[in-house]
Structure 1
Amino acid sequence: MSYPSWQPGEGPKDPQARQRPGGVPSWRGQGGQPPVWYGQGGPPQPGHADGSHSMLASHADRERAVDVLRAGFGEGRMEQAEFEKRVARAYAARTVGELALLVADLPQGPVPLPAAVGAVPRTFLPLPVPKTNEKAIGSAICGGLCLVTVGLTGLPAVILGHSARSEIRRTGEGGDGLALTGLVIGWLATASWTLVVTLLLIAALTTG
């Protein structure tokens, strides 16, 4: 891709390209100035005249032109040297018409990339997090309460723990560690109460 050899405000140097029927230069708008269509999606249609072609460019206008140049350079539409030359001319441009000439042969923004074809392979998808079994949570809670209730919730912890582990093996839910914790604490509490009751009975029988 080569940059046009004519400067902003000048016409093409090919005499045949300079004229159209009626003796009016084909590239000029009203008043002999270059047409301005920057930011309007394309060059004006025949018969259309825009009186703002000589409007002084603002900083925002220059930045928009440079953004279009960056997009074209990123898509490989121009070489590094040409890109740097156009950017320098964009920042030095005085009018909106000069900016329009710099981006005339580029799309007004980056071309959208095509959507990915096909679904993502299942191997690369994140693994679903299994649901935690509710009975396993209850077993762990009852096991923790054994310290507060002096082991009175040990038996519920054992029952819920065994039931939870059975459901986890069948359904693949999570929470096996919670159920196992509740089971261990529950069995310890139950064994402690069993030992206490046994000693009390032996003492009662001995003293009786």
Structure 2
Amino acid sequence: MTQPSWQPWQGSGVPQPWQGGQAPQQWQGGSSMLASHADRERAVDVLRAGFGEGRLEQVEFDQRIGQAYAARTVGELALLVADLPLGPLPHPAPVTPVPRTFQAAPRPRTNGKAVGAAVCGLLCLPTFGLMGLPAVVLGHAARSEMRRSGEAGDGLALTGLVLGWLSVGGWALVLTLLLIVGLAAG
């Protein structure tokens, strides 16, 4: 099969590297920089893509591959692939949203009053129960807000309520005992 006349090496009279002729020392429009292994592999990839698309025949492809591996300069490699497209263009991956099934569910915000109830409940021990009443009030307020708004923190509010009620119950027991002792003594 003859090559179409539009190809750059047709009729130029200059022997091309893949045609088995003497390769020029430097490509006229390119670089005389020495080619690396990666440069040669990129040129071979372009040649393979051109062969796969039917732009090269088997014999010409084999000649160009041999010349690509034997090329010393980047200019010689550029001449080997000058009449070919740069290979298949990568198609950008379509952006597909992640299904809701695999997305992490957003965590609800923790209610501030529930945190306050837990802190007051824990402070009941070092303050001898003085923080029990604020823990109970904050715990009940937090649980009613969480039912309406769907916020998180029910465990914190419950902790504050339990510790607060234990503190209030302890103080009620102490005051009752003091009252009984006061009435019995006096």
TM-score by length of 1: 0.62
The corresponding residue for 1:57 is 34
The corresponding residue for 2:144 is 166
Larger RCO (CA under 8 A, 6+ residues apart): 2
Q: Note the C-alpha offset of 1:111.
A: 1.1
Task: Confirm or deny that 1:199 pairs with 2:177.
Answer: yes
After superposition, the Cα gap between the structure-2 partners of 1:111 and 1:149, relative to the gap in structure 1 and judged at 3 Å, is same
SS at match of 1:132: coil
Question: In 2, Cα distance between the equivalents of 1:162 and 1:72?
Answer: 76
Question: In 1, Cα distance between the equivalents of 2:94 and 2:175?
Answer: 73
After superposition, the Cα gap between the structure-2 partners of 1:193 and 1:66, relative to the gap in structure 1 and judged at 3 Å, is farther
Q: Note the C-alpha offset of 1:99.
A: 2.9
1:130-169 map, 5 Å: 130-169=108-147
Question: In 2, Cα distance between the equivalents of 1:114 and 1:98?
Answer: 34
Task: Confirm or deny that 1:176 pairs with 2:154.
Answer: yes
Contact 1:146 1:154 in 2 (8 A): yes
Gap regions ≥5 residues in structure 2: 17-22, 54-63
1:199 aligned partner, one-letter code: L
Question: In 2, Cα distance between the equivalents of 1:165 and 1:173?
Answer: 9
The corresponding residue for 1:187 is 165
Q: Note the C-alpha offset of 1:198.
A: 0.6
1:99-154 CA-partner distances (Å, limit 9, x unpaired): 3226864537861424225x443333221111000000000000111111011101
TM-score by length of 2: 0.68
Q: What number of residue pairs does the alignment pair up?
A: 166
Gap regions ≥5 residues in structure 1: 1-12, 37-48, 79-85
Identity of aligned residues (%): 46
Question: In 1, Cα distance between the equivalents of 2:43 and 2:109?
Answer: 50
RMSD: 4.0
Contact 1:69 1:106 in 2 (8 A): no
Q: Note the C-alpha offset of 1:25.
A: 4.1
